[in-house]
Structure 1
Amino acid sequence: MRKATADRILQIPVPRSDVEFVRQDRIPALGTTRRLQALVANGYSQKDLIVRLGWPENGSTSELFLGRCRNIVVRKAQDAAVLFSQLQLVPGTDRKARQRAKAKGWMPPLAWDEDRIDDPTYTPEVVDRPKTAEDVFSDFEYLLSMGVGVEDASRRVGLLPASVKRRYERHGRRCPAALTAVARQQRKTAS
């Protein structure tokens, strides 16, 4: 070996930790895995999320959801973070996804502190509390404000439109006009 070649090789820095071994276009996958698992816990199927992200459905994607990937391409991590931001407050409709997440112990989006979700030493505090009427109203009104139709919004909060309307009435809250119209139409159709 020539001296010039040996000198150039010796100038290559030796990483001091595993994180430094990661290629510059890759980052640790933990935060992305947590975000995707949280969305499954929120009622979105793995397939639905993959389609929304525009990723190919293959074994490596399943490995990511299961927490078996150490690193991920930065662009994919950014795409997953954006999708998480968009869907974390929008309940999905896939009950099987929720059941799968519960069986695997995956935490829902609101269990995670967004500033610490990528931190491997962070463990979320889990607070089990039933969904209150105010939670239902808040979720329902948010979905309506995002352009989701009354029937879809009702389904996403786990109720029929007539049930949502009754909850508004029982709690002395003003019922959104669109909900009143759909509930009235469904009552006419049922009778």
Structure 2
Amino acid sequence: MTAIPAESLEHGDFRRYRRGCRCTKCRAGANRQNIKNRYLRQTGRPAMRPTDRAADHLLLLRAAGLDDKTIRQHTGICPDVMYRILRREGVIHARTEARITHVPVPAPTAARGRAYIPGHGTVRRLRALVAAGWYQAELARRLGKQKENLKQIIDRGEQGQVAQYVADEVRALYTELHDQKPEEHGVSTRYAERARKLAAERGWAPPAYFDDDDFDNPDFVPAANVTALKKNDLGALRRAEIEHLEQFGLSEHEIAERLGMTHSSVRNIVLELRRGQRRIRAREGAAA
């Protein structure tokens, strides 16, 4: 969703003033809005609100079977705002909160409960998030489910089945969290490390092991049992994690901080990866 251009708003609308129009009407509109915001703050009704109420309602909409695209169409929010709210970061305007909370939660249907699919994709995504440090109780909270229900899905393994709507919810949550560090979103280091240790003990592969198509491919076997990795394999895992994070535009300093490595180590691996990519391109050019 793109921002509304100034030209599509009437003169006197404070939003047009924010988009650069400094005519008399727009200045007056901005002043009126500032006065209104000040009055709301003084009477205990601030224009900016915490994200908790909106996040809880978004989880209810997801649990009722609405996918994220449909939710955004109903609420008029863009993906960045939606996922920031779900991560419970910062504050949002009262109008944004109202647009979200005014969307009615649809009643579950019988058809929705009967649709079941193979569970390997859902289980892999959940285990990968645990390996990244998202502990199971936090994942359950974000999905609006009981921890024990989520644990049953994970422990049931790839041979089980899950409801289609649960698979959709987990897929959306994985998209939201797989490149995020839990410690930067309210998860304590102790819980994040406990989740990573649990995943390592059980051989659950982290996100860096997977391409998007791997999760739902029944013939794909996760790269390795993490507990059985040798030193060289650990190096390969680190390179895969760095390559994965670099694709999202993170700087070397950010990657080093996220992975608990020194900047020089990350820098050396990045240079090695780039040299390898240049050699591959050169060979492909020569073959052509």
Calculate the TM-score normalised by the size of structure 1: 0.56
Contact 1:90–1:139 at 8 Å: present in 2 too? Answer: no
| Partner residue, 1:49 | 139
2:182 equivalent to 1:79: no
Q: How do residues 1-191 of structure 1 correspond to structure 2 at under 5 angstroms?
A: 24-53=114-143, 55-68=144-157, 70-93=160-183, 94-126=192-224, 128-130=233-235, 131=238, 139=245, 156-158=258-260
Structure 1 position 101, deviation (Å): 0.2
Structure 1 position 88, deviation (Å): 1.8
Q: Relative contact order (alpha carbons < 8 A, sep ≥ 6): 1 or 2 greater?
A: 1
Q: 1:136 and 1:122 mapped to 2: Cα distance? A: 22
Counterpart residue identity of residue 201, structure 2: A
Contact 2:256–2:266 at 8 Å: present in 1 too? Answer: no
User: Quick one: percent identity of the two aligned structures?
Assistant: 27
Residues 40 and 169 from structure 1, CA distance in 2 versus in 1: closer, same or farther, beyond 3 angstroms?
A: closer
Q: Deviations over 1:17-64 (max 9, x none)?
A: xxxxxx8522111110110000000111111111111x3224332111
Residues 156 and 56 from structure 1, CA distance in 2 versus in 1: closer, same or farther, beyond 3 angstroms?
A: same
Q: 1:91 and 1:52 mapped to 2: Cα distance? A: 15
Q: Number of aligned pairs?
A: 138
Q: 2:243 and 2:211 mapped to 1: Cα distance? A: 23
Structure 1 position 124, deviation (Å): 2.7
Q: Tell me the secondary structure at the aligned position of residue 156 of structure 2.
A: coil
Contact 2:141–2:147 at 8 Å: present in 1 too? Answer: no
Q: 1:140 and 1:112 mapped to 2: Cα distance? A: 15
Q: Tell me the secondary structure at the aligned position of residue 117 of structure 2.
A: strand
Residues 140 and 45 from structure 1, CA distance in 2 versus in 1: closer, same or farther, beyond 3 angstroms?
A: farther
Residues 109 and 168 from structure 1, CA distance in 2 versus in 1: closer, same or farther, beyond 3 angstroms?
A: closer
Extract unaligned runs of 5+ from structure 2: 1-112, 184-191, 269-288
Counterpart residue identity of residue 214, structure 2: R
Q: Tell me the secondary structure at the aligned position of residue 182 of structure 2.
A: coil
More helix by share: 2
Residues 154 and 119 from structure 1, CA distance in 2 versus in 1: closer, same or farther, beyond 3 angstroms?
A: closer
Contact 2:117–2:161 at 8 Å: present in 1 too? Answer: yes
Q: 1:143 and 1:52 mapped to 2: Cα distance? A: 26
Contact 1:43–1:98 at 8 Å: present in 2 too? Answer: yes
Q: 1:137 and 1:113 mapped to 2: Cα distance? A: 12
| Partner residue, 1:179 | none
Tell me how large the CA RMSD over aligned residues is.
Answer: 3.6
| Partner residue, 1:9 | none
Q: 2:125 and 2:173 mapped to 1: Cα distance? A: 9
Q: 2:217 and 2:246 mapped to 1: Cα distance? A: 32
